[in-house]
């Protein structure tokens, strides 16, 4: 084969127009990011502080899920910390609360701790009057993808949502 001896090393080519010379010699010099999308997350939560505008009605499989999350997050029913009389089931069954669907979009490139907006809506199966003035208890948010019009596959918990409600005017 041909020998490289005696040849002078060639400088790297100039970056393409609009590309920073800081990328020279790095993978960013040869690649382009395309199709950056937000990551959709969702979960079920409980909004409290609704007066009599909440709902005692909740589909059983969702009730069990929300109750389980609340027991582990808030240690409800634990008499050692003074919560022996407060159970998730009592909270969910109170007209001051409503079980809700929580969705959000995590921005591309977000790092742990990045805050993002959530959309909260009462479940259609309930008789919730309004979520105005309520506060969302902490709830787990999972990655999910729609398989078809009726099937959703959920992934692991990647975010947590909680906080006061802000209603958009009609």
Buried b (16+ CB within 10 A) or exposed e, 1-11: eeeeeeeeeee
**3 state SS for the chain:** CCCCCCCCCCCCCCCCCCCCHHHCCCHHHCCCCCCCCCEEEEEEEEEECCCCCCCCCCCHHHHHHHHHHHHHHHCCCCHHHCCCCCCHHHHHCCCCCEEEEEEEEECCCCCCCCCCCEEEEECCCCCCCCCCCCEEEEEEEEEEEECCCCCEEEEEEEEEEEEECCCCCC
How does pLDDT run along the chain (170 residues), one tens digit per residue?
A: 455 566 666 665 555 555 666 667 776 666 666 667 888 999 999 999 999 999 999 999 999 999 999 888 887 766 666 556 778 898 999 999 999 999 999 988 888 899 999 999 999 999 999 999 999 999 999 998 778 888 878 889 999 999 999 887 76
- In angstroms, the CA 56 to CA 128 distance is 9
The answer to whether residues 104 and 41 touch, using CB atoms and an 8 Å cutoff, is yes
Overall pTM surpassing 0.75 (yes/no): no
- For residue 4, the model assigns a pLDDT of 57
Cα–Cα distance measured from residue 46 to residue 165, given in angstroms and rounded to the nearest whole number:
12
């Amino acid at each position: 084969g041909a020998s490289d001896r005696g040849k002078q090393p060639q400088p790297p080519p100039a970056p393409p127009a609009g590309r920073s010379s800081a990328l020279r010699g790095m993978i960013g010099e040869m690649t382009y990011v395309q199709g950056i999308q937000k990551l959709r997350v969702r979960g079920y939560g409980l909004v409290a502080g609704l007066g009599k505008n909440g709902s005692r009605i909740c589909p059983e499989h969702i009730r069990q899920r929300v109750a389980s999350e609340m027991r582990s997050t808030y240690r409800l029913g634990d008499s050692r910390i003074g919560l022996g009389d407060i159970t998730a089931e009592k909270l969910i069954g109170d007209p001051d609360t409503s079980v809700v669907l929580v969705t959000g979009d995590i921005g591309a490139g977000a790092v742990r701790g990045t805050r993002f907006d959530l959309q909260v809506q009462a479940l259609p199966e309930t008789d919730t009057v309004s979520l105005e003035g309520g506060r969302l208890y902490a709830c787990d948010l999972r990655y999910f993808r729609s398989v078809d019009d009726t099937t959703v596959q959920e992934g692991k918990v990647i975010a947590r949502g909680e906080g006061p409600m802000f209603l958009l005017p009609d």
